[in-house]
Structures are given as structure tokens and as C-alpha cells.
């Protein structure tokens, strides 16, 4: 059984009750959305995961990417990133490790958080294939599905799998050349496999078998966007749309089998094209939850891409995206460090909150009203408690204190609030 099959059967699970309470909504309404495939709760049956709802009518959720690389392998560092994710309110974590003992790293990450854990199994497949055969492109079907099954048994809650990269998608890429080609790592593995062997993508060819594996453990399938644009010039091209058309067809198959599914999206997109991208996805994929990276709205800000992504993420979430994958300042430059994780997470949570306010979500507005109440009362401690990051503003206030404990050092004796407040008391 999965959350979706239970919902279709009219069964209210404990996870549904938890999510409904967190979202301030009726559980029957939530159950109906899950049954239709408009909401997912990524929770592997083998793991005690905190239930998190992703989809329509819910608050926008934020994911943190972390993981080792062949150039930097330090489990302690990754666990610190997990700690930061727990502390600053991430809704999910993806382990994208490609260096070191991948099963052991994943085990430690899972042990140190109760947040939903996602992976991209084709990364481990590629690493194993290189060790076994000498080349990533020599991976075979058995290796692919063995890794997926092993990760499902370990408790992974959602998996990014690039099932929409097909021979037809690769043909669209070749017939409409891009500036930057394929920038998705998993997408590149499978594109290279198809081009070299002239074979169909095993994840597409054996999709029914894949769904059997995922359904057994209630792993949510996150259909990867292997053809996402890597620069603004490549946005919304034939390869991206061809893959999205295929993903829409696969969403239907998932729902028929009772497998929870969401769809991933771009990427690098000019601000004026973001809304259209969200509408296209929601139409082609019949309101499946949409999981977007950014989108990044300018390519000119390496070192500041947490900001470019937050700008794009706000509009994306207002226009239909349900799940934001954070982007750190280190994007396009190097492996993210611990401080990068915090900066990226806070930026993405700002985008999510801004979007939820714009959409009128009651939980988002409740927090905004509480902050206004704290400010008018000059309750600084309460302001810090409500803030997305409590530590930074508290430290900043201590660095340059005001003579008046109610005011801040920007205005001091000339505080607008206090001036009008004093006049009102006369």
C-alpha cells in the first residue's frame, strides 16, 4: 500500500492527519488531493520519516541538496550540513554524493535526520559502473535496478529518476542544438548511454518494473528533468518540452499503479518565461506536484546564485511550483560548504514564504501578522523567534545597540514608531 492507494480506498493514514494539521486544512480535502495525485507525502515504509506534504493548496516546501564529490569526501562535513538543514527549517534533504562509500554516507545522513531523504540513484550506478567496467556508459539494466532496489530498502523516501530521457528526446536535442547541451549530471549519464549504445533508456523501457519496486516501499518518484536548460539562452526549447511531454505520460502510469509522483523542472529561465513554464508543466502533467531548481533568472551572478534563484523561485511558486530546490552561493563554482547551505536554505525559504503570502495561505499569513504584532510592541525577542533566521538579526542588534532598548540604532531617538506612539499617549 502507498499513501496514494490508501487515499483512493478512503483510508486516512496517520501521515495524512499529521500533514493536514500542519497545513491547517481538513484531512478529507487532503486525502482527496492525494488520491488525485495533486499532493504527495514522501515517506518510505521502511523509515520513520516526518510526514511532509508537497503539492496543491499546501505551503511551498524547500529541499536542501548536499553530498560528497570525488574531490572532497568528508562525512563529518556532510553531517554538519544535515544539522544546519534540521535547524533552519528544510522540508527535505537530497543526498547527491558521488565520492567515497556512498551507501555508508547515505546511512549516516538518514540516521541524523527525520526529514524526507531523496537521492539520484543513477549517480551511484555511474560510480559503480566506472569502478566495475571503467566507464559510466557501460552501466547495464541489472546494475541500475539493483541500486534502486537497495536504496528503497534502505529507506530513501523519494528518488529522482530521469525516465523521460528517451531516444526521441535525444533526437530532439540533436535536431535543435543548444548552447550548453545537457547540464543535468544524471541526464548526461543516460543521454551518453543512449547515444553510445543506440539503446533505449532502461528507466523508460522498463518503467512498469520500476513502478513495482517503488510501490513496494512507497518511494515517491520524482521524474527528473534531464533536459533542463543550463543557461538562459536554452530555456523552453524542444528538448526540454519533448521530455516534459513524456513525463506527463509517465505521470498517468504512476497514478494508475498508485505510485506517488512529482515532476522536476528548470533550471535557468528568464523571469518573463517562468510563469509560462509552470503553466505548461501543470497542464502536461495534470497538476502533479512540481519541483523546481531555482529557477535562476540571470547567469551573471556566480557567488550570488542563492539570490537569483530566490527571485525566480518566488514567481515559480506563485505560478504553480510546489517544491523549491534551494540554490547556494557556491552554485556553478564549487562544492557547497556549511555556510553556503545555510545561506541557500534561508534564501529559498524567503522565496517560499513570499509566494505563500501572495497565494493567501493562512499559515503564511498567520506568521506575518505575528511579526507585525511583535514589531508594534517592540518585542525584539519575539521578532527573532518568528524570523526565518533568529541568530543573524539578534547578533546584528547586539553589534550596534541603541540607547533606547525599544528602538534600533538606525533611528535611535528618531524612531518613527516611538514618536507617534508617544504623541498618542498625550
Whether residue 17 is contained in a domain is answered as no
Q: Where does a domain end: 339, 358, 377? A: 358
Q: For the chain, what is the domain count?
A: 2
Q: Which residues are annotated as a binding site for Zn(2+)?
A: 268, 332
What is the torsional sign of CA 347, 226, 43, 340?
negative
Instruction: Let me know: does 34 contact 40? Beta carbons within 8 Å.
Output: yes
Distance CA 166, CA 82 (A): 34
Whether residue 375 is contained in a domain is answered as yes
- Give kind and range of the element (H or E) at residue 31: helix 27-36
Q: Where does a domain end: 343, 358, 373? A: 358
Whether residue 286 is contained in a domain is answered as yes
Q: Are residues 348 and 380 in the same domain?
A: no
Q: What are the pLDDT digits (tens) for 381-393?
A: 999 999 999 999 9
Q: Are residues 352 and 369 in the same domain?
A: no
Q: Where does a domain end: 358, 392, 410? A: 358
Strands 54-55 and 39-40: antiparallel
Q: What are the pLDDT digits (tens) for 401-416?
A: 988 888 888 888 888 8
Q: Are residues 367 and 389 in the same domain?
A: yes
The low-confidence residues of the chain, meaning pLDDT below 50, are 426
Per-residue confidence (pLDDT) for residue 382, from 0 to 100: 97
Q: Which of 320, 228, 237 is nearest to 282 (CA)?
A: 320
Enter the pTM of the model.
0.96
Q: Which residues are annotated as a binding site for substrate?
A: 65, 94, 123, 162, 184-186, 225-228, 264, 291
Q: What is the CATH number for 91?
A: 3.20.20.540
Q: Are residues 326 and 390 in the same domain?
A: no
Q: Which residues are annotated as a binding site for [4Fe-4S] cluster?
A: 408, 411, 415
Q: Which residues are annotated as a binding site?
A: 65, 94, 123, 162, 184-186, 225-228, 264, 268, 291, 332, 408, 411, 415
Structural domain boundaries, residue 319: 41-358
Q: Are residues 374 and 278 in the same domain?
A: no
**150-164 as b/e, with b when 16 or more CB fall inside 10 Å?**
ebbebbbbbbbbbbb
Whether residue 20 is contained in a domain is answered as no
Q: What are the pLDDT digits (tens) for 110-125?
A: 999 999 999 999 999 9
Whether residue 96 is contained in a domain is answered as yes
Distance CA 31, CA 207 (A): 26
What is the torsional sign of CA 270, 274, 276, 278?
positive
Instruction: Let me know: does 231 contact 268? Beta carbons within 8 Å.
Output: yes
H runs (alpha helix) in 222-379:
238-257, 271-284, 305-318, 338-358, 362-376
Amino acid at each position: 500500500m502507498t499513501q496514494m492507494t490508501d487515499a483512493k480506498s478512503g483510508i486516512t493514514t496517520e501521515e495524512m492527519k499529521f500533514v493536514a494539521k500542519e497545513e491547517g486544512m481538513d484531512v478529507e480535502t487532503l486525502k482527496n488531493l492525494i488520491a488525485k495525485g495533486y499532493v504527495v507525502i514522501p515517506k518510505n515504509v521502511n523509515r520513520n520519516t516526518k510526514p511532509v506534504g508537497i503539492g496543491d493548496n499546501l505551503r511551498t516546501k524547500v529541499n536542501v541538496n548536499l553530498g560528497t564529490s570525488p574531490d572532497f569526501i568528508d562525512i563529518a562535513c556532510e553531517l554538519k550540513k544535515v544539522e544546519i538543514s534540521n535547524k533552519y527549517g528544510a522540508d527535505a534533504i537530497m543526498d547527491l554524493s558521488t565520492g567515497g562509500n556512498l551507501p555508508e554516507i547515505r546511512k549516516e545522513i538518514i540516521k541524523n535526520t527525520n526529514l524526507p531523504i531523496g537521492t539520484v540513484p543513477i549517480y551511484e550506478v555511474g560510480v559503480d559502473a566506472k569502478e566495475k567496467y571503467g566507464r559510466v556508459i557501460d552501466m547495464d539494466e541489472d546494475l541500475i535496478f539493483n541500486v534502486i532496489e537497495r536504496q528503497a530498502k534502505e529507506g530513501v523516501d523519494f528518488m529522482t529518476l530521469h525516465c523521460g530521457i528517451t531516444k526521441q528526446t535525444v533526437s530532439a536535442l540533436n535536431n535543435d542544438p543548444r548552447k550548453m547541451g545537457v547540464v543535468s549530471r544524471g541526464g548526461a549519464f543516460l543521454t551518453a548511454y543512449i547515444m553510445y549504445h543506440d539503446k533505449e533508456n532502461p528507466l523508460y523501457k522498463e518503467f512498469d518494473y520500476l513502478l513495482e519496486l517503488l510501490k513496494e516501499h512507497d518511494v515517491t518518484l520524482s521524474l527528473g528533468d534531464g533536459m533542463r536548460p543550463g543557461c538562459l539562452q536554452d530555456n523552453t526549447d524542444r528538448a526540454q518540452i519533448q521530455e516534459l511531454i513524456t513525463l506527463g505520460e509517465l505521470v498517468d502510469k504512476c497514478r494508475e499503479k498508485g505510485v506517488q509522483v512529482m515532476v522536476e523542472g528548470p533550471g535557468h529561465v528568464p523571469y518573463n518565461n517562468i510563469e509560462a513554464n509552470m503553466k505548461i508543466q501543470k497542464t502536461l502533467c495534470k497538476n502533479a506536484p512540481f519541483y523546481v531548481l531555482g529557477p535562476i533568472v540571470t547567469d551573471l551572478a556566480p557567488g550570488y546564485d542563492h539570490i537569483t534563484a530566490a527571485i525566480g523561485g518566488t514567481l515559480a511558486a506563485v505560478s504553480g511550483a510546489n517544491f523549491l530546490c534551494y540554490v547556494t552561493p557556491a552554485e556553478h563554482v564549487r562544492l557547497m560548504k556549511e555556510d553556503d547551505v545555510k545561506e541557500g536554505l534561508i534564501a529559498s525559504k524567503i522565496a517560499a514564504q513570499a509566494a505563500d503570502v501572495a497565494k493567501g495561505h493562512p499559515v503564511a499569513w498567520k506568521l506575518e501578522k505575528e511579526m507585525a504584532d511583535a514589531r508594534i510592541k517592540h518585542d525584539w525577542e519575539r521578532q527573532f523567534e518568528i524570523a526565518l533566521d533568529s541568530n543573524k538579526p539578534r547578533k546584528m542588534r547586539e553589534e550596534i545597540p541603541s540607547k533606547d532598548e525599544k528602538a534600533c540604532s538606525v533611528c535611535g531617538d528618531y524612531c518613527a514608531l516611538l514618536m507617534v506612539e508617544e504623541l498618542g499617549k498625550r
